[in-house]
Structure 1
């Protein structure tokens, strides 16, 4: 991948096939700006063009994951007018939508507070691994806004159930790391000094499988959260399975199984 340069995001490739994207505004707790939302879209396009990419890890620099929309920018929102604010909101939503639909798995390494739009960003990941200092908070109602923001109202009930989602949304209360793990908001909590190594270990488990199988699994799971019937879900699954039987990786996997050796997946 030709690594693009960003103002608010640092990119690193610690191992083959894995990109770590770090929100890089530590002095502002990685708070989101219009520039960051635009860069989310650019980042997603660049990552989707990387044929060797297998997993993306998203984290924050310093002591926070992401503190939500930067209040220095937020103070200008009342003066935008309805359509002006709508355009800005849609720009933010496009950025998170783009990250959620990166074709490979996205792991959020939640190293600290994830509040407001930062909470939305964590929810957009496929897998969330947190440190003990992680805090999750949909504080929109505390500033006169709705928790229906940047996907929260759709994603959160599917992760923790409607009743728990209602509690988090209506009270604006913080959910600490232990509680987040208990209710299924995060996959696991690990010591802070092990957070990135745990995420990289998860990435290695994913990399051990066929690239096409993983990518179409992600597509099936995401799309089938939105279909209205079991029959429609199976139709999508059938098409994915039929497509993958035409790839080189499936016969290689069968041969490896019969020969009792690791498979050599190429993604072709």
Structure 2
């Protein structure tokens, strides 16, 4: 059985599904290693313009698998401290892979996103949710720290420091409606995967380098030390596409002619 499935419901949109529903798609290494590999594969496909990540069954991802975590590849023979460090680095690499993909990644959160599953959703560029979805920073409930896999970096940037502290220090569940209200997800949908694919198809109609540079700029903006420093990088991105493509002229003509622009991304 494959624990990760990849589908192409739209020519330019790939859907990567965590497929271990009996464990609510928990983060065993048997799931996370092929998940990372699938992300790298679709990321390298120039025909893929957007990526949707979701989970099979009732859960998006329930976090660490506490019953059958599996064995990370290539770590046999390491002493326990080194083994633990390498295993954690592998999971961190999954989060970084989501961030580094050139395409925008849309989380279609169909159910529970708990602990590391919340981190996976936050690592995506956009988040849509089903009405039954809920989110939990679970580490604190397990006698650990709630900070894991970038959660203390990503969550405050998504919903603000005060709301992030509320979730991380109490370990309470955040339902889908509240998640939409505070901006953790952009919208709720009964068929959240179909809505995410539709969003991906809309992205695919836009300029490919424009979208990729916008993703990079959003991430750089969150990490920027000052507005002054960030303004320069934004301006260079605009100049880059203005000089090397005729996209701006095409958009102008399309508006005058009452049609959708067809961006060639070249001159």
* TM-score where L is the length of structure 2: 0.90
**Displacement of 1:44 after TM fit?**
2.9
Q: Runs of 5+ in structure 2 lacking a partner?
A: 72-77
CA distance in 1, matches of 2:68, 2:82: 17
Q: Which residue of 1 aligns with 2:111?
A: 112
- 1:112-163 residue CA offsets vs partner (Å, 9 max, x unmatched): 0010111111111111111111010011012222121011100101111111
Choose the corresponding residue for 1:50, options 32, 45, 65: 45
Please say if residues 40 and 98 of structure 1, whose CA atoms lie closer than 8 Å, have aligned partners that are also in contact. no
Determine helix, strand or coil for the equivalent of 1:264: coil
8 Å CA contact 1:110–1:129 kept in 2: the answer is yes
Cross-structure match for 1:211: 208
Q: Tell me the SS of whatever aligns to 1:90.
A: helix
Cα distance, 1:80–1:166 mapped onto 2, change above 3 Å: farther
Note the C-alpha offset of 1:95. Answer: 1.0
Structure 1 residues 168 and 75, CA gap change in structure 2 (3 angstroms): farther
Distance 1:130 1:72 in 2: 27
More moved, 132-141 vs 181-190: 181-190
Quote how far apart the aligned CAs of 1:50 are. Answer: 1.1
Classify 1:19/1:228 alpha carbon distance in 2 versus 1 (closer, same or farther; 3 Å): same
Q: Any conservation in 2 of the 1:211–1:266 contact (CA below 8 Å)?
A: no
CA distance in 2, matches of 1:241, 1:39: 36
What is aligned with 2:230? 233
| Whole-angstrom distance in 2 between the partners of 1:108 and 1:75 | 25
- Within the candidate set 243, 249, 252, 2:250 is matched to 252
User: Could you say which residue in structure 2 is the equivalent of 1:39?
Assistant: 34
Alpha carbons 2:50, 2:103 under 8 Å: kept: yes
Cα-Cα RMSD: 2.2
Structure 1, unpaired ranges of 5+: 1-5
The alpha carbon displacement at 1:56 in A equals 0.7
Cα distance per residue 1:207-265 (max 9 Å; x no partner):
23211111111110111111101111111111211211202434433333344432112
Match of 1:261 in 2: 259
Which residue, out of 232, 240, 243, partners 1:243? 240
Between the aligned partners of 1:87 and 1:220, the Cα distance in structure 2 is 30
**What's 2:196 paired with?**
199
Once the two structures are superposed, residues 11-46 of structure 1 have per-residue CA deviations (whole angstroms, 9 ceiling, x without a partner) of 000011000111011111111112333223322321
> What does residue range 142-161 of structure 1 map to in structure 2 within 5 Å?
142-161=141-160
Aligned counterpart, 1:100: 99
From the superposition, tell whether residues 41 and 248 of structure 1 become closer, same or farther in structure 2 (CA, over 3 Å): farther
**TM, length-normalised to structure 1:** 0.90
Are the structure 2 counterparts of residues 92 and 255 from structure 1 closer, same or farther at C-alpha, using a change threshold of 3 Å?
Answer: same
